[in-house]
Structure 1
């Protein structure tokens, strides 16, 4: 495809990209939006060229790299106005570059547990900001991937992708039902570790046999009994102040670094 300019908010491609804010459209098309030149370059560098690249006035040298990579992959490059970028990103101060990418999910069977010291499984996580932050932390710590168990929020929502700061392209994602995860977990070669407020074992003193699979519950309920029963050990993160719990992404970060220390 070639590069072209668009100035109308009613352009079909502009309307299609705007529609990707809806989960129904993302599910049907298998596409998602990543905002900003940094995120787009992260995608390209990890082998994910944009299907569509929208940009404002050229200026940054890396924008030329992004344009060339998109065209080489037969994607569409569209120069647009700031008004269009604002509508596409739903921001008053939009990024100057927006990329549309293809979603990627790996099957449980395709995962290689021994490829990393630590993996993360999230049961029914609800908040896209938490999910995106966990993906970013998993990337920083060198985790093998993030497994979404049960009905979770969409990791490819704009809010989740923003929170990953580009790590959405680096961390393998997997979706599984509770039954699929339970059956697959039986073949896990290391430790499966969960967190419970009622647990007796301090997270710093647990035996993390590698590879370690950290299983975290959702923001409201934590791990339900059937999920906690899948763990080799359940641990607690001590609360020393008045707060009786931690934000899910913070707790998961603590567990990730305890398991990889």
Structure 2
């Protein structure tokens, strides 16, 4: 599309990219921000070229930055050289990354998911913390999970905080959204086990029989799985607590369950 230089914080494109820190703007535009050359290249390598690529004055000397520029232009995106001050404002960091990409969100409908494509999938009910969500997406990617399904009112996986925590895996893991009712109806056709975690469960997570593909259903950070969600599970399991702590961080617990099921 074009290459140009921008030095003004009041430039309309700069203001539009800064506004993507707001969920309302992300929802309305279908765009999100990914920071850093690693994340941008991850997007490109998985078929997601930036709609806008912003880079600092010296960034393009890096061979991968040249690759990012070429891929953006090839996909009719816009490449903009900006100042450090603009990068700091866009990322809301004092020491910003030298490259920032604006990408299109890529939610998939439940009907497009293929359970047999992976032995393990993850569903999260009303997850609240973007750091947890991003870490879970990264773990799901590392373990080769088929995708992550967000059930009910969840935090936004395309928020800057969540995207940072994915370390580039935001582009590799299929994401879906569903209401509780939509998920319950879709779950009826699941060919393997649906597995939940409950503190009151009696089955150890290492001893349960997981029929592949396993769908791991996790509750949120405060309340865990509510009764209506737990009722959707073929089996509910517990992760033993041996010390004084009575629960685990959601992303840690989900990681344990993913590897137990695979």
TM-score by length of 1: 0.99
Q: Deviations over 1:142-191 (max 9, x none)?
A: 00000000000000000000000000000000000000000000000000
Match of 1:204 in 2: 206
Match of 1:11 in 2: 11
Corresponding residue pairs, total: 260
Give 1:47 shift.
Answer: 0.2
Q: How does 1:240-251 map to 2 (within 5 A)?
A: 240-251=242-253
Give 1:2 shift.
Answer: 1.5
Distance 2:39 2:9 in 1: 24
Give 1:59 shift.
Answer: 1.9
Please state whether the residue corresponding to 2:181 is helix, strand or coil: helix
Match of 1:22 in 2: 22
Match of 1:140 in 2: 142
Give 1:132 shift.
Answer: 0.2
Q: Deviations over 1:45-103 (max 9, x none)?
A: 00000000000122211000000000000000000000000000000000000000000
Q: Deviations over 1:13-37 (max 9, x none)?
A: 0000000000000000000000000
Distance 2:77 2:212 in 1: 41
Give 1:243 shift.
Answer: 0.2
Q: 1:195 aligns with which of 184, 194, 197?
A: 197
Distance 2:62 2:249 in 1: 37
Match of 1:109 in 2: 111
Q: 2:178 aligns with which of 170, 176, 179?
A: 176
After TM superposition, the runs of 4+ consecutive aligned structure 1 residues lying more than 6 A away are: none
Match of 1:45 in 2: 45
Distance 2:212 2:2 in 1: 49
Distance 1:6 1:229 in 2: 55
Please state whether the residue corresponding to 2:21 is helix, strand or coil: coil
Please state whether the residue corresponding to 1:20 is helix, strand or coil: helix
